[in-house]
């Protein structure tokens, strides 16, 4: 029991903790309802990703094309680093984790590979983090971290592809890396770093194969309109945009899952605190009553003795 | 026709817009209109902003709007992919027409930017899809 804390103070603290609990509880519920939507959006976007990946890997592997988005720079000198963070806080260690990995990747690129790094940020949290440290941010986008649309992804992709296609001497970049959070499950979200450009188009098993027909004997010979090169030209920016969209969707779901968990433990903590404060308040009340009785009895006996 | 109907799906970046079986599909590639019937050879073609028409296996007509993207055909499966794709009946013809009228006026005065001209193409395609779906 806190010595000297009066009954009034204890009650006041309990009231304030109760109010906090209401807020965290509400945020927990909001996060858990939104996460269902975020997961549905990620699921709904899957067919597009699958079909696009299929078409691009078919084109890139079956036809030996030296598209600029596929060609590796001999000695990369400048990289763009896209860090995907949240717009709002109160999501536990979500933003801290992804920013920490971003720092590691940046240090690695700068010190191990001797590259310059241009920072690109999505999400208010990441922006504030870097601005506070006085770092230069090449471009940033905010306002869609919880539910990114395909159009948001396209805006980001257009800017990055533009930088990539600009010659290094004129301020372009040779590589693009993404640091974002992958949604593994409701309980587990891991920050990950991947290289976005130059693209490595491989199947999940890591092999590059000529497209085979379903029965697996003969590769299919596609007819292209207008021609393979032009089709690839048009598809690759879509592919990049799609990769970014997928990363944003995963990050959005992760953010909500982290927030839900953080708010759940905050609610639980508040509940514990309320119970503790209630007990203390009751004790203080008992003590006050006991004191009063003692005083009355003491006063009465003093009177009867003097009489 | 003794061939199996085509398995078609029209997919936008955000979801599957339409999927089902079809006996015929018409789309507009960068080289012109193309009709796909069951048994079509493997094809990968770029689309322009346009209307995609589908005759379903049970004889209904569907019209969709795509903002470009591509079509791929292989082994009886047809996929139409576009950043944005919508069913014709989900497009408000009146809104599209109003916006188009505004831009056309601008265009006639020679004030339309490249972006706005592209937007005009998109709107025309939306209108085409909406009209076809309304019929």
Contact B21, B56 (CB under 8 A): yes
Q: Domains of chain B by range and CATH?
A: 6-88 (2.60.15.10), 91-134 (no CATH)
Contact A86, A255 (CB under 8 A): yes
Of residues B85, B54, B42, the one with CA closest to residue A45? B85
Contact A7, A285 (CB under 8 A): yes
Closest Cα of chain B to A145: distance in Å?
Answer: 16
Tokens of A284: 């203080």
Contacting residues of A for B16, CB less than 8 Å apart = 44, 47
Q: Which one has a higher pLDDT value, A86 or A229?
A: A86
Tokens of A102: 């971003």
Cβ burial of B94 (10 Å; 0-12, 13-18, 19+) is: exposed
Angle between helices A228-306 and A7-44 (to 10 degrees): 160
- Residue A252: which pLDDT band, with cuts at 50, 70 and 90? very high
- Give the residue extent of every domain in chain A: 29-261
Closest Cα of chain B to A210: distance in Å?
Answer: 14
Region label for B13, one of left (φ > 0), alpha (ψ between -120 and 50) or beta (otherwise): alpha
Instruction: For the domain covering A29-261, report its CATH number.
Output: 3.40.1380.10
Instruction: Answer yes or no: do B43 and A223 touch at CB < 8 A.
Output: yes
Query: Percent of chain B, pLDDT > 70?
Result: 99
Average pLDDT over residues A240-244: 91
Of residues B55, B69, B65, the one with CA closest to residue B89? B65
pTM exceeds 0.90 for this model: no
- Residue A212: which pLDDT band, with cuts at 50, 70 and 90? very low
CA-CA distances (angstroms) from residue B123 to B2, B93, B103, B117?
A: 38, 9, 10, 10
What pLDDT is attached to residue A5?
59
How far apart are alpha carbons B121 and B103 in whole angstroms? Answer: 11
How far apart are alpha carbons A217 and B26 in whole angstroms? Answer: 30
How far apart are alpha carbons A250 and A243 in whole angstroms? Answer: 11
Angle between helices B93-108 and B114-134 (to 10 degrees): 150
Which of B14, B71, B115 has the most A C-beta neighbours within 10 Å, making it the best mutation to test the interface with A? B14
Of A52, A154, A213, the CB nearest to B75: A213
Cα-based angle A90, A143, A116 (whole degrees, multiple of 5): 90
Residue of B nearest to A236 (CA): B69
What digits encode the pLDDT tens for the residues A115-147? 889 999 999 999 999 999 988 899 999 999 988
Query: Percent of chain B, pLDDT > 90?
Result: 38
How far apart are alpha carbons A248 and B13 in whole angstroms? Answer: 13
How far apart are alpha carbons A44 and B122 in whole angstroms? Answer: 24
What digits encode the pLDDT tens for the residues A167-179? 888 878 889 999 9
| DSSP-derived 3-state class of residue A196 | strand
- Residue A62: which pLDDT band, with cuts at 50, 70 and 90? low
- Which A-chain residues 80-139 have CB contacts (< 8 A) with chain B? none
How far apart are alpha carbons A268 and A142 in whole angstroms? Answer: 31
| DSSP-derived 3-state class of residue A257 | helix
């Amino acid at each position: 029991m806190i010595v000297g804390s009066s009954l009034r103070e204890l009650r006041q603290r309990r009231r304030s903790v109760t109010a906090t609990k209401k807020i965290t509880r509400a945020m927990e519920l909001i996060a858990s309802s939104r996460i269902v939507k975020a997961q549905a959006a990620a699921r709904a976007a899957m067919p597009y990703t699958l079909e696009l990946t299929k078409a691009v890997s078919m084109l890139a592997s079956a036809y030996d094309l030296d598209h600029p988005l596929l060609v590796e720079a001999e000695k990369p000198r400048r990289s763009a680093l896209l860090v995907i963070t949240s717009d709002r806080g109160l999501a536990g260690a979500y933003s801290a984790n992804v920013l920490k990995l971003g720092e590691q990747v940046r240090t690695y690129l700068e010190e191990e590979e001797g590259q310059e790094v241009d920072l690109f940020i999505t999400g208010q949290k990441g922006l504030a983090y870097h601005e506070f440290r006085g770092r230069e941010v090449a471009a940033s986008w905010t306002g869609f971290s919880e539910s990114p649309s395909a159009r948001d992804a396209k805006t980001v992709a257009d800017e990055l592809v533009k930088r990539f296609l600009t010659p290094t001497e004129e301020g372009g970049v040779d590589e693009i890396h993404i640091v974002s959070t992958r949604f593994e499950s409701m309980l587990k979200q891991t920050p990950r770093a991947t290289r976005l450009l130059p693209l490595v188009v491989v199947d999940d098993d890591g092999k590059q194969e000529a497209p085979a027909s379903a029965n697996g004997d003969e590769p299919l010979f596609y007819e292209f309109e207008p021609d393979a090169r032009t089709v690839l030209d048009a598809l690759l920016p879509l592919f990049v945009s799609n990769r970014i969209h997928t990363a944003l969707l995963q990050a959005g779901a992760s953010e909500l899952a982290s927030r839900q968990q953080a708010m759940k433990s905050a609610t639980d903590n508040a509940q514990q605190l309320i119970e503790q404060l209630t007990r203390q308040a009751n004790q203080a009340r008992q003590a006050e009553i006991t004191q009063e009785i003692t005083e009355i009895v003491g006063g009465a006996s003093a009177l009867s003795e003097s009489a | 026709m003794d061939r199996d109907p085509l398995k078609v799906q029209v997919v936008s970046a955000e979801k599957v817009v339409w999927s089902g079986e079809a006996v015929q599909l018409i789309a507009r590639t960068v080289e012109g209109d193309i009709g796909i019937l069951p048994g079509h050879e493997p094809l990968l073609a770029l689309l322009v902003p346009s209307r995609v028409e589908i005759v379903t296996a049970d004889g209904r007509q569907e019209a969709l709007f795509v903002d470009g993207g591509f079509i791929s055909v292989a082994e009886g499966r047809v996929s139409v992919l576009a950043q944005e794709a919508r069913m014709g009946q989900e497009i408000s013809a009146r809104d599209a027409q109003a916006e188009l009228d505004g831009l056309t006026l601008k265009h006639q005065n020679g004030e339309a930017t490249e972006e706005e001209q592209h937007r005009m193409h998109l709107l025309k395609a939306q209108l085409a899809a909406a009209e076809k779906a309304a019929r």
